[in-house]
Chain A
């Protein structure tokens, strides 16, 4: 079974629109970390955020915000006022205490196209 599901394969928006990327995870562990990474066309993964399972506070960083809800096992990512430079593939990932946090389970990724 897929541990991390990103149901949106590809999203296209026009610049300045807000966009939310969904991430649903599955784990039996009570202690885990959730991550978001950005992968631009160059291929290099850019770390965006890490959240541990005990911290459900939403986080905002500039135009980026994250909504962590354990009740729905979701860790959604919102970009406000999107820009062309936001175009990339975004991956959500999970690591669990069971694996000593060594294994990263990546979702299938969501490709975001921001058009001018």
Chain B
């Protein structure tokens, strides 16, 4: 089956620093990737849609300048949390859309970010 990896799996950073999270599709090409955020005991909320070679599309209420998304290749999308604050602490999950099956999203294992 299709595999999506995320790196790092967890990260602790100090307030004011930036953190980059990578999402890779390991055995398939993904023209579209998605970034979700999940607060404790809550559901997944879509943050943005990342398209290879173009600008990401952000959901309403998500700050574009704070959550920078880059989808430079068909297998890699990155999410950079800039000037992180404690309220950015969350579980970030990416998913990748298989170009062969438009309805199938494959989810990464998630990255737990803690900002101190």
Contacts and interface: CB of A to CB of B under 8 A. Distances in A.
Partners in one complex: yes
Interface of A: 33, 37, 42-45, 47, 50, 52, 91, 95, 100-104, 106-109, 111
B52 to A, nearest CB: 14
B97 A102 contact: yes
B103 A43 contact: no
Interface string B91-110: 10101010000111111111
Contacts of A109: 42-43
A100 B91 contact: no
Nearest to A101: B103
The A contact surface, by secondary structure, is loop
B43 A45 contact: no
Tell me the interface secondary structure of chain B in the complex: strand
20 contacts: A37-B107, A43-B91, A43-B93, A44-B107, A45-B110, A47-B106, A91-B44, A95-B103, A95-B105, A101-B102, A102-B32, A102-B49, A102-B97, A103-B46, A104-B46, A104-B105, A106-B44, A108-B43, A109-B42, A109-B43
Contacts of B34: 102, 104
Given A50-B104, A102-B49, A107 B110 contact: no
